[in-house]
Chain A
């Protein structure tokens, strides 16, 4: 089986990111996954086990003291070394901030081709084809880079599969100083971990709030309904701009694209740029007091009403069912 190199962006605290599961699942489908990690110290046994659980057959584990103080450059060097060592048929990285930068630099360095924001990938007769969801899901496009090594950035949450568990072989590699001038990471401020709530990307249910919530204090209502439904929390850009919630919760054209089973839009008008991030949801429910709000054009159930009346009642009914 051909090798497939996968970038696993371990956090500076050593956590395996949520994107790892889908990346390793696709890599397993395309060939034999070689996970590439960069860390300060050699991988802990628990990290190796966690990656094995997700299907990492080989771990190309680069480590060195500057792993988390130099921005992206070590990721590129480690990937470059892994490409040389494992002659892969493809390289996979998450469509994350770091993943995209590492993928882009690697492509230039190795003369590889890029296939971006991929929602699925297949290998047919050894040829790798990727699937892309374009313009808010209005188009499904298949693409390939026939004459070059494909470097693929995978949309986080797009793949709901897990590869069978394996016992990884770990190759420990020491990091060298990256060539040229580099950007440095001077400090980290981690987002508070919310173990109780699912990640927005890939969540089965998403509850989003918009400008209609009126204030950051009122936005708690969105979170309460999300918790009653076991959902992730999203937002419109207007809600983010108004400071109700962090930018990472933005759904839409310039935010996260989600395709949940259920999307609930609260106090969101349904601007085309918002729809671009959620209109591929299986079922859409919208609550808006303006009966002409465009969100109703795509809602399977539209409720013309006040979120401050309907949502508390719904939370009560949902909690009573448990």
Chain B
């Protein structure tokens, strides 16, 4: 079985993230770039399939600037077999529509039985790219899974939404997205890090993929919110509950 995992490099959520006021795009300079944790969990799922069946081939696909190659290398050092990097300065301002088209075009040549992605990224939070990729490829999608069983010809799992859970399944080839209910990713070990250097990474450009580079969406303007400041802090000396209730009353919150 061949599994392709979509990984995304994002600004680290552990620090304050910024938008470029001029373009409205994510300011990539402001934070350390890291692999989005949810896509690491997606990779972990693929690697767990490979742990059980060594014939499984795991490739990772990422789109992004030069520095995205570091995310791909990390994925290879964790155990992926190969990488595909969509790298093109013309795609720097890619919106969701363009990103989905580029990823789908790269996947067309990848012959995957299963495509795994995270349910939503921490920077875009759109949660819509996987469905768009699936539509481009004409594949069924099991989105937002809490668990998955990957068989020879089918994939099934539990899908979580506000109404409850659904047991869902689809024949392969298919696509699925993981939620945070999935395992955290393994750490790369020394052998993995050394071995990653010899693993192949293919670079693809927009023209090579035969896709347009003109985004559909535009940012009209943006405004930064002033940071929140601390209010009153009290230490409980037996009357904190009473002070809390007084506060709620004076603030007309109860």
Contacts and interface: CB of A to CB of B under 8 A. Distances in A.
Interface of A: 11-12, 17, 71-72, 76, 95-98, 100-105, 107-109, 113-117, 129, 134-135, 137-148, 153, 180-191, 205, 229, 237, 240, 247-248, 250, 253-254, 261-262, 272-273, 276, 279-280, 283-285, 287, 291, 296-306, 309-311, 313-314, 316-318, 321
Given A182-B170, A298-B230, A317-B245, 15 more contacts: A104-B129, A105-B134, A114-B96, A114-B126, A114-B217, A140-B225, A147-B216, A183-B142, A187-B167, A191-B162, A229-B248, A301-B234, A302-B232, A310-B240, A314-B245
Contact of A185 (B18, B167, B223, B232): B167
A137 B233 CA distance: 24
Interface in B171-230: 171, 174, 179-181, 216-225, 228-230
B217 A143 contact: yes
B152 interface: no
18 contacts: A71-B142, A71-B170, A101-B130, A105-B131, A107-B97, A113-B97, A116-B125, A144-B217, A145-B218, A181-B171, A247-B179, A262-B251, A272-B13, A283-B253, A287-B244, A300-B232, A304-B233, A316-B241
Interface stretch (B1-9, B71-79, B153-161): B153-161
Contact of B217 (A11, A113, A285): A113
Interface of B: 13-19, 24, 37-38, 95-97, 100, 119-120, 122-132, 134-136, 138-144, 146, 156, 159-171, 174, 179-181, 216-225, 228-236, 240-245, 247-248, 251, 253-254
Contact of B254 (A104, A298, A321): A321
A245 to B, nearest CB: 13
B219 A143 contact: yes
A139 B19 contact: yes
A97 B77 CA distance: 32
Contacts of A287: 240, 244
B38 A254 contact: yes
Contact of B221 (A114, A142, A181, A310): A142
Contacts of B129: 104
Contacts of B254: 229, 318, 321
A9 to B, nearest CB: 9
A72 B225 CA distance: 37
Contacts of A147: 216
A103 B160 contact: no
A115 to B, nearest CB: 7
Nearest to B15: A272
A62 B183 CA distance: 39
A74 to B, nearest CB: 13
**B127, B223, B243, B247 pick with most chain A CB within 10 angstroms:** B127
A229 B253 CA distance: 9
B13 A304 contact: no
Given A145-B217, A188-B164, A247-B160, A104 B136 contact: no
